């Protein structure tokens, strides 16, 4: 579940491409004949969004005199919608200016949208900007829309919101460690999933435990990304404790040990029964506990945050810890 937050989306592009009309059409759910050249900031409250987030929309001026104000808006924004007029070729030729400005100011997810598709005699004109899509990797989506007929208006802003909540870029380099699901899968669904993975990545399936190994989970993540469904990956990663920057978030309420001001100077802490049970399960999973096994256990922990004893002075290359030695390290 997403924490309550505000997503700031800016809309920019050339004059008369329909930036203000797009925002107005989204908010009013109807086309407006008269729209100001630049709208004031508009906030859509959390109760009006499916993801329990507030959306702050920022219109921008295309005048060269206002470029510093546009740059300020960029630095405050989480995503950008870059608009061009599909009915005018000169409009798409100016896309590079706005995308370069984003590139040197603040790289963020960009939805490239060709407005006024209702004026086209037929067919799509988005192919005209394919070279743009190749040159600017931060463009996460491209589509055509119409502020006058409301075609793809909600989808345009929905894609920008999705790009912030479920960013694609970190997933390409992420080191994924485990797989889980928001709801428990039916046995037949799990069997079908394992069969699918086994056809392509036989080593990604653990036949003895009817589960996925790392390679299997990585393959499923690649499939989700290819199908433009990064939210599937993020639901897994956030469930197991990863932040938006792919760092493990440690729950402080579980990590902080309460102190008794009246306790003796040499106060001691003991493992709870649940903690000992968990550590025993980890030992069983990775036994024999060699240095390589310990490295695997702590692979998800950034090196600066690892306990100093994770590099053990084991005398023999294949020497290992027994259960009592493993538990003693935590006491």
Q: What's the pLDDT tens digit per position in 231-270?
A: 778 877 877 778 777 777 766 655 555 555 555 555 667 7
Q: Are residues 39 and 139 in the same domain?
A: yes
How many Å separate Cα 285 from the centre of its chain? 30
Task: Give CA–CA dist 223/101, Å, rounded.
Answer: 33
Distances (CA, A) of 104 to 68, 101, 239: 13, 5, 34
Q: Are residues 16 and 115 in the same domain?
A: yes
Structure tokens at 292: 């390589």
Q: What's the average model confidence in pLDDT over 144-148?
A: 94
Query: In degrees, to the nearest 5, what angle opens at C-alpha 70 toward C-alphas 67 and 74?
Result: 135
117 has a pLDDT exceeding 80? yes
Task: Give CA–CA dist 12/82, Å, rounded.
Answer: 5
Residue with tokens 């903690």: 275
Q: What's the average model confidence in pLDDT over 2-19?
A: 87
Enclosing H/E stretch for 206:
strand 205-206
Q: How confident is the model at residue 14 (pLDDT cuts 50, 70, 90)?
A: very high
Instruction: Supply the angle between the helices 19-28 and 153-165 in degrees, to the nearest 10.
Output: 90
Residues facing residue 12 across a β-bridge: 82
Closest C-alpha among 14, 10, 12, 11 to residue 92: 14
Q: Are residues 221 and 86 in the same domain?
A: no
In the three-class reduction of DSSP (H, G, I as helix; E, B as strand; rest coil), residue 103 is classed as helix
Query: What is the predicted pLDDT for the residue at 214?
Result: 83
Task: Give CA–CA dist 144/153, Å, rounded.
Answer: 9
Q: Are residues 84 and 155 in the same domain?
A: yes
9 has a pLDDT exceeding 60? yes
Query: What is the predicted pLDDT for the residue at 256?
Result: 57
Q: What's the average model confidence in pLDDT over 146-158?
A: 94
174 has a pLDDT exceeding 50? no
Query: What 8-state DSSP symbol labels residue 41?
Result: P
pLDDT averaged over the chain?
A: 81
Q: Are residues 93 and 123 in the same domain?
A: yes
In the three-class reduction of DSSP (H, G, I as helix; E, B as strand; rest coil), residue 240 is classed as coil
Q: Are residues 69 and 149 in the same domain?
A: yes
Rg for the chain, CA atoms, rounded: 26
Contact 296, 286 (CB under 8 A): yes
Residue 251 lies in a domain: no
- Give DSSP secondary structure letters for 291-325: HHHHHHHTTTS-GGGS-GGGS---SSTT--B-HHH
Specify the higher pLDDT residue, 236 or 16: 16
Q: Which domain holds residue 21?
A: 6-165
Distances (CA, A) of 252 to 188, 234, 258, 299, 323: 38, 22, 11, 21, 28
Closest C-alpha among 57, 235, 14 to residue 161: 57
Q: Are residues 79 and 191 in the same domain?
A: no
Report the domain count for the chain: 3
Q: How confident is the model at residue 213 (pLDDT cuts 50, 70, 90)?
A: confident
Enclosing H/E stretch for 147:
none
Q: Are residues 145 and 21 in the same domain?
A: yes
Q: Are residues 92 and 157 in the same domain?
A: yes
Contact 230, 140 (CB under 8 A): no
Closest C-alpha among 170, 10, 147 to residue 76: 10
Q: Are residues 182 and 310 in the same domain?
A: no
Contact 204, 218 (CB under 8 A): yes
- Beta strands 6-13; 79-85: pairing state: parallel
Choosing from 165, 193, 211, the residue where a domain stops is: 165
Q: How confident is the model at residue 173 (pLDDT cuts 50, 70, 90)?
A: very low
Query: What is the predicted pLDDT for the residue at 125?
Result: 67
Whole-prediction pTM: 0.58
Residue 247 lies in a domain: no
């Amino acid at each position: 579940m997403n924490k309550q937050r505000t997503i700031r989306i800016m809309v920019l592009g050339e004059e008369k491409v329909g930036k203000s009309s797009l925002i107005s059409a989204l908010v009013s759910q109807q086309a407006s004949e008269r729209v100001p050249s630049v709208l004031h900031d508009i906030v859509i409250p959390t109760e009006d969004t499916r993801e329990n987030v507030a959306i702050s929309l920022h219109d921008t001026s295309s005048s060269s005199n206002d470029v510093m104000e546009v740059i300020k808006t960029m630095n405050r924004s989480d995503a950008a919608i870059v608009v061009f007029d599909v009915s005018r070729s000169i409009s798409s030729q100016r896309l590079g200016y706005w995308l370069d400005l984003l590139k040197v100011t603040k790289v963020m997810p960009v939805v490239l949208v060709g407005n006024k598709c209702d004026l086209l005699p037929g067919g799509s004109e988005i192919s005209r900007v394919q070279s743009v899509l190749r040159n600017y990797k931060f463009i996460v989506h491209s589509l055509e829309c119409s502020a006058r007929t409301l075609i793809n208006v909600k989808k345009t802003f929905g894609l920008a919101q999705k790009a912030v909540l479920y960013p694609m870029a970190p997933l390409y380099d992420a080191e994924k460690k485990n797989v889980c699901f928001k709801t428990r899968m039916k046995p037949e669904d799990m069997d079908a999933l394992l069969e699918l993975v086994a056809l392509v990545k036989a080593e990604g399936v653990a036949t003895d435990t009817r589960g996925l190994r790392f390679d299997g989970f990585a393959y499923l993540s690649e499939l989700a990304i290819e199908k433009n469904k990064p939210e599937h990956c993020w639901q897994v990663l956030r469930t197991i404790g990863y932040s938006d920057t792919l760092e493990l978030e440690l729950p402080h309420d579980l990590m902080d040990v309460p102190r008794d001001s009246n306790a003796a100077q040499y106060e001691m802490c003991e493992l709870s029964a649940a903690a000992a049970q968990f550590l025993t399960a980890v030992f069983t999973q990775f036994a024999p506990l060699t240095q390589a096994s310990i490295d695997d256990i702590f692979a998800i922990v950034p090196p600066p945050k690892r306990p100093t004893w994770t590099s053990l002075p084991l005398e023999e290359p294949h020497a290992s810890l027994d259960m009592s030695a493993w538990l003693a390290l935590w006491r």
